[in-house]
Every structure is written in C-alpha cells, then in structure tokens.
Amino acid sequence: MFKKIMCVLMVVAMAACLFAACGDKKDGGDTKAEGKTLLIGGTGPLTGDASSYGISVKNGAQLAINEINAAGGIDGVQLAFDIKDDKATAEDASTGYDALMDAGMKVSIGSVTSGSCAAFGDKAAGDNLFFITPSASAANVIEKGKNAFRVCFGDPDQGVLAAEELAKNYKNIGCIYDTSDPYSKGIYDAFDAKMKELNAAYKVQSFDAENKKDFSTQAEALKDCDVIFTPFYYTEAGLVCKALVNKGSKALVYGCDGLDGIKDQIEGVDVKVTYITPFDVNSKDEKVAKFVNDYKAAYEGKEPDQFAADGYDAIYAIFNALQKSGFTADDLKLDVSEFGDKMIATFTDPSFSYVGVTGTMTWDASGACTKAPQVVEL
Amino acid sequence: MIIIADGLSLGAIYALIALGYTMVYGIAKMLNFAHGDIIMVGAYVILTTLQMTGNPYIAIAASIVVCTVAGIVIERLAYKPLRGASPLAVLITAIGVSFLLQSVAQLIYGSKSQAIALPDFGKITIAGNHIAVSTLITLIVGGIIMAGLTVFVKKTSTGRAMQAVSEDRGAALLMGVNVNRIIMITFAIGSALAAFASLFYLMQIPSITPTLGSMPGIKAFTAAVIGGIGSIPGAMLGGVLLGLIEKVCLSIPAISPYTTAIEFGLLIIILLVKPIGILGKQRREKV
Amino acid sequence: MAGFASNFKKQFKFKYIVSWVAVLAALIVLIILNNAGVLSRSVTGLLSRIAYSIILAVSLNLVVGFLGELSLGHAGFMCLGAYIGSFFANSISQSIDNKLIVLILAMLVGGVVACIFGFIIGLPALRLKGDYLAIVTLAFGEIVRNVFKNLDIFGGAMGYQSKPYNTKELYIVAFVAVIIVLIIIQNLIRSKHGRAITAIRDNEIAAKAMGINVTFYKLFVFMLSAFFAGVAGVIYGHFTTPVLYTTFSYNYSIEILVMVVLGGMGSINGSIIAATLITIVNFALQSKLSGDLAALRLLIYALILIIVVIFNNAPAFKNIRERFSIKSIIDSRKARNAKSQAKISDDDAKWDRIESKIKNDTILTPDLPHSDAPDESDSKEGK
C-alpha cells in the first residue's frame, strides 16, 4: 500500500531521467553544430574490483587530452574526452557505447578490459566507428572488424614470447594463471601451446576470481621451481611473491605487462621479479620522464603504471593520426563511418608510426600493434 | 600436511568472520551483508595508523575502536529504524550499507590495492614442514575468542539477555530486557570481531582493496550456515571446514578451477542431509 | 454460453489486466516514437534492459512474494538461459534464416533448460526453509557461474560470443515477451492454483491440512520462475555480446531481489514499476557520472537504496506514508464523493497484491512472529 508513495516519487525521478536523456541528445547535437569539439569516448571499470586499471587509463588519457587542448587542439578544434563506467561487464559497455554515440562520439579508445571491449567492438563494428583500445589485449578484441586497433601487446604474442624466453634459459619452470580472467587465460593458452611445441615441461597451478587472495597452496606446489611464470596483474602477483617468500622459495617471478605497477606491492620483500613490458617508469627516455613527471604533478604524486601510459599513448596515437590525415574543422561534419574510414586508412598506412611512452608503434590491417618489448628487472 | 596447515589458517579467518555473522544473526535475526565490509574498514584503519605511528599495537587498538564505533553507528542509522519491519527490508539495507562502505573507501583510498607490511612472526618447523607462526596465532586467538564468547553468552547477565532476545524478542522485552541495547551490544561485539578478522586477514594476505571484504564475507556466511547459523561453535567448525575444503581442492590441479563450485556443492549436500547445519538448533514449527 | 459470458463480465475487472495493458500501451507509444525517430540509441538499448529486468523481477516475485521462499540465485537461472540460449541460437542460425524465429526458439530452449534446473533447486526447497534455502540458491547461482567459466565450449573466461539482435527491434520482442509473462502470471495467481500458492506462503501446515499438494506447487513455482528467468537470460544474450559469467554474480541476484522488495512483495505492478525505475536509475547514474564522477555512482545508488527502504518500511514513518500514499488520496476523494458505498463481495480481494496475514517475517524467521511489530498485531496467527 504505502509503496505507492515511493512509486510517485520514483515516477517523477524517472520522468526527470528520461528528459535528461533527451536533453543529452540535444547537447550532442549542439556540439556537432558548433563544430568546436571532437568527442573521444571510451568505457572502463571505474568502480568495483578492476577499477584501478580503468582509473589509470582514464588519468593517462585525460592528461594527454589536457596537453593537446592546452597546445591549441587541432585546427582550432578542442578534444573532449568522456569515459563511462562499465564495471568490466559487457552490458554496461554496450550501454556506455550507446550513450556516447548519442553524445556525438566520433573516435574512441574502446574499453579498458577485454570482455567489455568485445562488447564495445561488436557495436562499433556495426557503425564502423574507429577505436584504439589502450589495454584490451585479448585476441578477439580486434577481430570483430577492420575498425578495431590497440596500443598494447596481444595476449598470444606475450605468451609465445615468454615461452621462448623461459624454455631457452631455465630448466625447472612453473606457471600460475587465473582461469577467470581473459587476459591471463589468453596468455596462458598461447604459452601452453608454445611450450608443448618446444617440448618443454613445466608445472602449472591456477586460481580464479573467488580465490585470488591466498596463494599458499600454489606457492607450496611451485616453491622448488627456478622460475615461475605469472601472466596476470600486479595485485595478485604481489601476493604470489609474498606467498613464495613465505614458503622459502628462491624462484624468479617472470611476468607480462600486467605486472607493471608491482614495485610498491613488494616493497621490502626479498624476491626477484622480471617482466616484459612496453613501458618502464624509470626509463631514461626523455619522453617517458616528462610523462612520468607530468602525471605525478597532475595526480597527487602517484606514479603512472602501464595502463596510464597506454591510455596516454592511445590519445596521442589518435591525435597524430588526425594530424597526419590532415584533419580540419570541416571534418567534424563527416559521419562516424566516414570518419572511421579516414582513421583506418591513416593507421594502416605503412608510413604512419607513432613514438609514444610505450615505444615506437606501427599498425597493420589486423589492428594489432607492433612495438618492441622491454624487459624490466626488479 | 602443509595443505592442512594452510587450510587451517584460511579456515581460522573464515571462522572469525563467521563468528560475527552468526552473533548478529542469532540475536538480531538479520543477515548482515555489510559484515565483510566492516573487515575492509578495519583493514584500512590498520593501514592508516600503521603508516602514521608505525606501531602495530596502536594500529590494532585503533582498528578495534573504529570498527566497534562503525558497527554501532551503522546499526543506529540503518538498521534500528527498521526494527519491526520485514527482515527482507533489513537485508536490502545491509546491502546498501555494504555498497556505501565500499564506495566511501574507494573515494578516500582509491581503488588500487595497497600493500601492508605487518611484523613477521617467523616460522616454526613441525615434522619437516614450515608453518608460519601467524597461522598458529590465528588459530589460537580464534579458539580463545570462541571460548570467550561462549562463556560470555552463557554466564554473564548481558549474555543471557542476548539469549533471551534471540529466543523470543517480545517475551524478553516483557521481562525487562532492553532489546535495543542488547542488539547494539551485539553489533559492537560483531564489529570488534571483524576488526580481529581484518588483522588476521592482513597477516596472511597483506593487500587491501575496497572490495576486500565481499568474497570472504560470502564464504564466511556459507561457513556460518554449514555450521548451523546462530551457533557459535558451529561458525568456528564451519569456517575451518570450509578453509580445509578450499585448500584441498586448490591443491589438486584437475579440479582446482572448480573449487568454488565444489565448496558450494558441498554446502548444498550438507544442508540436504542436515537442513539446519551441522550444529544448528532444531526449531519446532508452531501451528 | 450465456452463463459464461455473464460470469466473465462479473469476474472481469480492469485491475486484473492493468499491468499488461499498461505495458502494451507503453510499447505502442514507444514504437510510434521510435519510428518517428525521437528515441535515441541509448533509449532503445535501455528499453531492452528494462524488459528483461521486468521479467526477472516479476518471476522472482513469484517465488519470494507469492510462494514466500527467499531465493538469492535468480541470476543463476538467467545465466543458464543466456549461455544455453545464445549457444542454441548460434547453432541453428545456419539452418534458419529468420532471426526472429531463431530468437523465439532460443527463448524456449533457454527457458526449458533453466526450468529443468529450477526443478533441481526446487527439490531442496521442499526440505529447507528461510535462510538455509536462501544460501542454497545463492550457492546454486555461484556454481552455475563457476562451471560456465570453465567450459571451453562456452568460451571459458573469454565469455561466449553470442550474436546480438538488432537493438532497434530487440526491445519490441522483449516487451512482447514481458506481456506474455504478465498475462500468464496474472492468470495464474487469480486461479485456484494461485490461491493454493499463497495459502502455502501464509501457512504451510494449514495448507497441507486443507489438502493442497505442497510438493507439487513448490516445484511448480520454482520451475515457472526459472523458466521466465531463462527467457530473460536469452534476451540478455541477444542484447549484448559476449555473454560473460561475471555479470551473473550474487550481486545481480540481490539487485533483482531489491526490485521485488522495493516494488512490494507479492505485487506484480510494484515489481514492474520498481524494475523499470531501478534500471533507469542505474542507467542514468552510469551515463551521467562518467570520468572522475564515476566513483560517486555506487555511493548515490547505495544512499537511494537505504533511504527508500527505510522510508518505505520503517515503522516510524508509517503515518507519513499513509497520509501521502496514492491510495489514501484516492480514498479521500471517494469519501468526498460519498456516492460509492462499500460493497462487500467475494471478489473484492485484490489479486494484484495479496496481503499476507503473517507478513513477510515468515520468509526469514519461520516461527518467530515479531511481537514488536507495531501493525497487524491483532491479526497475527493464533498460537
């Protein structure tokens, strides 16, 4: 009975929301008509378990946008950047995509995580919207259409690279992977295939999202290995390192780009960590040093991780491509698909390359990025 | 052997959390879904005070105080207005409180996981196996708390009032028990237990995120139900059992991806065999 | 025949059909608006989400509100529907060209598979009560998720690559499904069987004593509810790709429960309204609070949840609620008109919202009437 009053309140709220949604659309129309800003959209996990990755990408990308706008934008056009929260789910990425399209998005950085980016890419393929994802590394993310590109390494490449490296240099190899994470599973599958091809034996342990805190069992099983391959993110890898040390293991922890950011997780822990990454925060490179300083200045002294660097590079890659394609304010009148074709043509042009904080990148028609991996040892 | 030790130490953590769950359920008759997030609050308090003072004992004391106060405040603001309303409404509010605590933690501390270095108590060797002293401490303290709680509930007047409220709230009220006060004390004790749980959790898993409490919370809830919800020794037993099952499953590579399914599957089987949990009290249905 | 007609006339009341007629009217308006090009993309996408949320909320209400058993595993049935339905749709899409027929068949298959699991979960429901049943359903939901995550045939951790249906048309199919579900449920709860189900909720032992087949009805309600959740899952699978196991966590089950509780236990219309509003609020929070503000999203949602629940349920606010409720406003107008006298007939019961004598306390605490509950204390069951 008394639920009714809530109904009234909520109906009012609903009407307000619907009107707000309509109002949104008009806003998008206005910006289009004025032709002063180019909207770059994206989605990422800004709340929930995976939010630290999404927030890093958001910060890195926003830094790049601010720099470009402070330098006058491109042909007098300012860049606008909007990233919607998708909680790393597919349906929220779809909804975010629709909202961004209504707001007049022309170019996108896709989604931060692989699962969301598959949903985002599926919709973007239908519209031929150009997107370049900073960090969604699963193989299927760029397979949906020719409009999909990425900044980071693909998962299978990293797995193969790691398998070759480990099989060549080490005897007693162990591996832990996360069965619930597309990133980890993707790398592991490629690693496993390559190891079998190389006839190299290794011990394997796994965990999943429900059991990703306590690694004593896995550490116990692998404590006698010389090297342990850890294809997942730094949060869990830090705990794995501590569990290994607790078990008295002297193994080297060997990981992929997800381990970037592990340094402050394992402070004071006696463990050797090596990982393949395109981005090294301590690099002497001038561009990287400038990025790290600017990032620290903008975000209360926080050190950028690889996600932030990827986000930064994604925006600058788009910016450089716009410059190279001879972007003018008139191009804002193009529709999404025409704009996308123009961007795709520029990115797949063999002469186009971009030197960013994660290395020198070139792209082929598949959308995969070619850049040199660095090996960081801690 | 070493798996059993690992399982025991994980189980001890589940057991401590489950004790809090079961206390609150037994007396206030509500599923406090925010209990896991109190643990998260405790963990962040330990982290902050440890950074500020460097003294682990002050950190532990601060965490117990803050958790207790937080428990009382939450009870007063979110649950007390609903006294007498449908328990489902209280359940939903508890979930709201859980979301609230998580988002506040994210706003204050950010979402990146933070490492924490608690003092290491070293290891001892039993029959050739290294066992961390912190594991033993967790188990011993868990046992002491369980015994203490049982004595408290059975012997003190407040404890007996709790039993009375748990048995029949209306009759307890008529007998002069201040029901609101008893429920508040229950929440205070439950939250203080959560502070202990957060300490032992951090000793084993030294990393803090805003969502730290949700999965252990659900596992502990499961443990409490396995043991018979409302029963203090049951919560302890259920927690240890669950920790052991989890570790044994994880140690067998062929079934380790299905660990969660096996844990919950066992729960269903146990409940089908014994519908009130292992040590639960049978309630007769009145007509 | 004439007898039937008059009987029909006597029994027919607009409030019996108001829910699905309102949805139908809304759908027609939306189709017209969409053809006129007024609806933006995000609104058509939102409509599909609203549609499957309504099906989920209404079907959960069957279990929680009408049967009186707490279920925290509704997302598990949805998960089954989403995976199985999308898998089925992908496998038959080569042989059947018409996408609509594929979708409808997928809904049936996804629903039936979920229904079978509803039967399996219904079995413990015969033995367990209250929180114990709740934890079993929660466990079921987590098991389903865990198993799908590890099955490579369903894409494993990468999620299953379903083929999304055209968003601009999906909402129409989805809303037609909503209307069918509403008609089925409204007719069920007004029938003999519906009365039997609510009788079980109000007092299982008394219902048994009256010769009601409790086993049959409990299983039946669980299966029907699971079937509808499976259908909602298939719609979800056609709304977005990939179908990822992460979506169907216990948090989602709880969100569906929130819709049921806010809408009112045992109120179909309430569930529809609450499901719509919660989906819209979530959508609005997501699209408005982007970038730096996103951290506030959960905070605002949590505050809305707590405040609305406390306002709606706290005994302290009872007077305010009653003074400003729609019903009291209508009643006072009626009183002013003073013409309509209260007629008492058999059919005056409100079948869209059947009040339970012992209130919802029974769901969580099987034998413990809350003696400090201020209202309805006189109508409490006799000991």
Among candidate residues A61, A134, A72, A78, the one with its CA nearest the CA of residue A298: A61
Domains located in chain B, CATH noted = 2-273 (1.10.3470)
**C-contacting chains (≥3 CB pairs under 8 Å):** A, B
Instruction: Identify the band that residue C380 occupies on the pLDDT scale cut at 50, 70 and 90.
Output: very low
| ipTM score | 0.87
- Shared domain check, A318 and A338: yes
Provide the pLDDT for residue C4: 55
User: Which residues 124-183 of C are in CB contact (within 8 Å) with A?
Assistant: 142, 146, 149-150, 156-159, 161, 164, 167
Provide the pLDDT for residue C264: 85
Mean pLDDT throughout A127-135?
91
- Shared domain check, A51 and A95: yes
Mean pLDDT throughout C94-109?
91
State the nearest Cα–Cα gap between C156 and chain B, in angstroms.
11
3-class DSSP assignment, residue C382? coil
State the nearest Cα–Cα gap between B136 and chain C, in angstroms.
30
- Shared domain check, A254 and A225: yes
Among A81-85, A213-217, C60-64, C236-240, the least confident range: A213-217
Beta bridge partners of A277: A374
Q: Tell me how many helices (H) and strands (E) chain C has.
A: 16, 0
Range of the domain at A235: 156-277
A10, A88, A91 member nearest C277 (Cβ): A10
CA distance A305 to A308: 5
Give yes or no for B244 touching A (CB within 8 A). Answer: no
CA distance B71 to C311: 21
Provide the pLDDT for residue B215: 85
Quick: pLDDT tens for B10-44: 888 898 899 888 888 888 878 888 999 999 999 99
Provide the pLDDT for residue C375: 40
Q: Flag if B277 and C132 touch (Cβ within 8 Å).
A: yes
State the nearest Cα–Cα gap between A216 and chain B, in angstroms.
7
- Shared domain check, A211 and A198: yes
Provide the pLDDT for residue C12: 64
A267 phi and psi, to 5 degrees?
Answer: -60, 130
Q: Flag if C139 and B267 touch (Cβ within 8 Å).
A: yes
CA distances from C42 to C240, C286, C371 (A): 13, 12, 49
A329 phi and psi, to 5 degrees?
Answer: -60, -25
| Chain C residues lying within 8 Å of B100, measured CB to CB | 298-299, 302-303, 306
Looking at the structure of chain A, the number of domains it has is 2
Provide the pLDDT for residue A17: 46
Mode of pairing for the β-strands spanning A272-277 and A252-255: parallel
Instruction: Identify the band that residue A216 occupies on the pLDDT scale cut at 50, 70 and 90.
Output: confident
Q: Indicate the residue among A240, A261, A277 that finishes a domain.
A: A277
Quick: pLDDT tens for C253-285: 999 999 998 888 888 999 999 999 999 999 998
- Shared domain check, A233 and A272: yes
By C-alpha distance, the chain A residue nearest C243 is: A90
3-class DSSP assignment, residue C160? strand
Across chain A, mean pLDDT equals 84
Quick: pLDDT tens for C70-91: 899 999 999 999 999 999 999 9
Q: Indicate the residue among A248, A277, A306 that finishes a domain.
A: A277
CA distance C53 to A11: 17
Helices marked H in A182-305: 182-197, 216-222, 234-246, 286-298
Provide the pLDDT for residue C376: 39
Quick: pLDDT tens for B84-106: 777 888 888 999 999 999 999 98
A16 in any annotated domain: no
pLDDT at residue C365 greater than cutoff 70: no
By C-alpha distance, the chain B residue nearest A215 is: B205
- Shared domain check, A200 and A175: yes
By C-alpha distance, the chain A residue nearest B134 is: A246
By C-alpha distance, the chain B residue nearest A247 is: B130
- Shared domain check, A319 and A355: yes
How much of chain B, in percent, has pLDDT values that exceed 70?
95
Supply the CATH number for residue A183's domain: 3.40.50.2300
| Chain A residues lying within 8 Å of B250, measured CB to CB | 207, 211, 217-218
CA distances from C96 to B208, B220, C160, C177, C236 (A): 52, 49, 21, 21, 21
| Chain centre distance of CA C299 | 25
Tokens of A194: 């390559």
Instruction: Identify the band that residue A282 occupies on the pLDDT scale cut at 50, 70 and 90.
Output: confident
Mean pLDDT throughout C138-163?
89
| Chain C residues lying within 8 Å of B279, measured CB to CB | none
- Shared domain check, A289 and A266: no
Sheet holding A227-230, edge to edge: A203-207, A173-178, A227-230, A252-255, A272-277, A374-377
3-class DSSP assignment, residue A173? strand
Query: DSSP string of A33-59?
Result: HHT-EEEEEEEE--SSTTHHHHHHHHH
Q: Flag if A268 and B209 touch (Cβ within 8 Å).
A: no
Among A24-28, A230-234, B32-36, B38-42, the least confident range: A24-28
Q: Tell me how many helices (H) and strands (E) chain B has.
A: 11, 4
A40 in any annotated domain: yes
The better pLDDT of the pair C311, A4 is held by C311
Provide the pLDDT for residue C134: 86
- Shared domain check, A290 and A149: yes
Provide the pLDDT for residue C360: 46
Instruction: Identify the band that residue C346 occupies on the pLDDT scale cut at 50, 70 and 90.
Output: very low
User: Which residues 343-362 of C are in CB contact (within 8 Å) with B?
Assistant: 359-361
pLDDT at residue A326 greater than cutoff 90: no
pLDDT at residue C290 greater than cutoff 60: yes
Sheet holding A105-111, edge to edge: A78-85, A37-44, A105-111, A130-133, A148-150
Provide the pLDDT for residue C3: 53
Instruction: Identify the band that residue A25 occupies on the pLDDT scale cut at 50, 70 and 90.
Output: very low
Burial of C192 (0-12, 13-18, 19+ CB in 10 A): exposed
- Shared domain check, A273 and A160: yes
- Shared domain check, A136 and A40: yes
| Chain C residues lying within 8 Å of A91, measured CB to CB | 49, 236, 239-240, 247
pLDDT at residue A150 greater than cutoff 80: yes
Residue showing tokens 């997030």? B37
State the nearest Cα–Cα gap between C226 and chain A, in angstroms.
21
Q: Answer whether C76's CB lies under 8 Å from C200's CB.
A: no
Mean pLDDT throughout B67-72?
94
A363 phi and psi, to 5 degrees?
Answer: -125, 150
A122 in any annotated domain: yes
Q: Is the pTM of this model over 0.80?
A: yes
Instruction: Identify the band that residue C340 occupies on the pLDDT scale cut at 50, 70 and 90.
Output: very low
Give yes or no for C33 touching A (CB within 8 A). Answer: no
A239 in any annotated domain: yes
Instruction: Identify the band that residue C9 occupies on the pLDDT scale cut at 50, 70 and 90.
Output: low
Q: Flag if B265 and C139 touch (Cβ within 8 Å).
A: yes
- Shared domain check, A268 and A188: yes
Q: Indicate the residue among A277, A300, A316 that finishes a domain.
A: A277
